Amino acid sequence: LKLQSFTFCLISFCTMAAELSTSINIKEPRWDQGTFVGRAKHFFTVTDPRNILLSNEQLEKARQIILDYKKGVVTPGLTEDELWRAKYVFDSAFHPDTGEKMLLIGRMSAQVPMNMTITGCMMTFYRTTPAVLFWQWINQSFNAIVNYTNRSGDAPITVNQLGTAYVSATTGAVATALGLNALAKHVSPLIGRFVPFAAVAAANCINIPLMRQRELKHGIPVTDENDNRLGESSKAAQQAITQVVVSRILMASPGMAIPPFLMNSLEKKAFLKRFPWMSAPIQVGLVGFCLVFATPLCCALFPQKSSMAVSRLEPELQEKIRACRPGVETVYFNKGL
Ligand SMILES: *[C@@H]1O[C@H](CO)[C@@H](O)[C@H](O)[C@H]1NC(C)=O
Ligand SMILES: *[C@@H]1O[C@H](CO)[C@@H](O)[C@H](O)[C@H]1NC(C)=O
Ligand SMILES: *[C@@H]1O[C@H](CO)[C@@H](O)[C@H](O)[C@H]1NC(C)=O
Ligand SMILES: *[C@@H]1O[C@H](CO)[C@@H](O)[C@H](O)[C@H]1NC(C)=O
């Protein structure tokens, strides 16, 4: 009997020791966001399209694990890897503020498949005006759904605001695309294929600075490394906006700049001459292949918290910082989206 109870104690001790600690911070990404590799791993996991295939049961199971863990209850036998997997599955489907299940096509995991379909079709059907209108409209409708799905819980946007943004975004996108198409009427077929990419680049260069002109005028808050506010800087705003524009254009480049060359030579081949309807699926596939890598890698390019040397700030702000915080050489700011 003694031996039995000893064995029992040993077993329960072992399972206890193997139980996961409750101190893992699952509110934060799993990997260090201070490094490019850590950010890339994080965004590859967040945008993983396989997550849209998960069944309701699998989502519920992940949700249960995460809700329990947040209360300090560890599901027996859970390993650290399983916990992190559950966290990313949970985040992929449930809204961070409201906890509601999100619309399927508004989720991060749907970004790559949706985006590759839209981008691929936009690049295949760029020649006629109705097709351009249709795909610009589809893209903006998709953006509106993403905006709606991703609305913040504590300051919900009204249907009116969403509607206004939808109409003005669609008008702007259609106007840019039609304008560029008209300009490109007389260029070679190869150059013509880059019109969608040029439209994206032009739209980003115009829209983002326009949307954030307040920040350019009045500056954005800059802090020391411990988040103590040191003042506002327009120079920092310039850098933040430049980084956002560059990463948006870089994100679009692999998917929109490589396929045109391939398609242009493919269309001269017998295969596509015989099966012209194959060009849309091929284009979508090519864009998708590029996006699977480009989306997470470009999200990871610049850290959300960006930094800048004090010597590159406005002279007045430099003086102010040197006077009250002489040791500070670098300031930090949020680059925005
Ligand atoms: C939703 O918003 C979060 C930040 O609030 C952002 O990290 C994420 O990229 C957004 N998702 C989409 C699909 O835009
Ligand atoms: C779709 O719209 C978004 C937002 O306006 C834009 O950033 C993106 O480049 C568009 N996609 C294409 C393929 O033009
Ligand atoms: C989505 O939200 C962004 C930022 O709030 C806005 O600039 C954009 O126009 C919106 N897009 C649509 C299609 O509503
Ligand atoms: C789709 O991907 C492109 C990059 O190819 C990016 O510029 C664009 O913002 C994405 N569109 C949406 C709606 O996420």
* Model pLDDT for residues 143-180, shown as the tens digit of each residue: 989 988 888 766 667 888 888 888 988 888 888 888 88
Cα–Cα distance, 232 to 272 (Å, whole number)? 57
pLDDT of 59: 94
Residue 291 is assigned to a structural domain of this protein: yes
* Model pLDDT for residues 196-206, shown as the tens digit of each residue: 888 888 888 88
Residue 16 is assigned to a structural domain of this protein: no
Closest protein CA for atom 11 of ligand 4: 115
Q: Which residue, of 69, 93, 117, is where some domain finishes?
A: 93
Q: Which residue, of 43, 72, 93, is where some domain finishes?
A: 93
pTM of the model: 0.77
What is the total count of domains within the chain? 2
Q: Are residues 175 and 200 in the same domain?
A: yes
Counting ligands in written order, which one lies closest to the CA of residue 299? 1
Q: Which helix (H) or strand (E) holds 177?
A: helix 159-183
Instruction: Give the residue among 191, 207, 228, 224 at the shortest CA–CA distance from 330.
Output: 224
Local structure of residue 276 (DSSP, 8 states):
G
**What tokens were used for 296?**
């997470």
Residue 98 is assigned to a structural domain of this protein: no
Q: Which helix (H) or strand (E) holds 275?
A: none
* Model pLDDT for residues 236-259, shown as the tens digit of each residue: 999 999 999 998 898 888 888 888
Q: Which residue, of 63, 93, 123, is where some domain finishes?
A: 93
Residue 208 is assigned to a structural domain of this protein: yes
Q: Are residues 170 and 244 in the same domain?
A: yes
Q: Nearest 5°: phi and psi at 333?
A: -155, 160
Contact at 8 Å (CB) between 100 and 148?
Answer: no
Q: Are residues 194 and 216 in the same domain?
A: yes
Cα–Cα distance, 243 to 238 (Å, whole number)? 9
- Other C-beta atoms lying within 10 Å of the C-beta of residue 71: 9
**Ligand 1 atom at shortest distance from the alpha carbon of 147:** 14
How buried is 41 (Cβ within 10 angstroms: 0-12 exposed, 13-18 middle, 19+ buried)? Answer: middle
**Ligand 4 atom at shortest distance from the alpha carbon of 291:** 5
Residue type present at position 74: V
pLDDT of 164: 87
Counting ligands in written order, which one lies closest to the CA of residue 255? 4
**Ligand 3 atom at shortest distance from the alpha carbon of 211:** 7
- What is the extent of the structural domain holding 295? 106-334
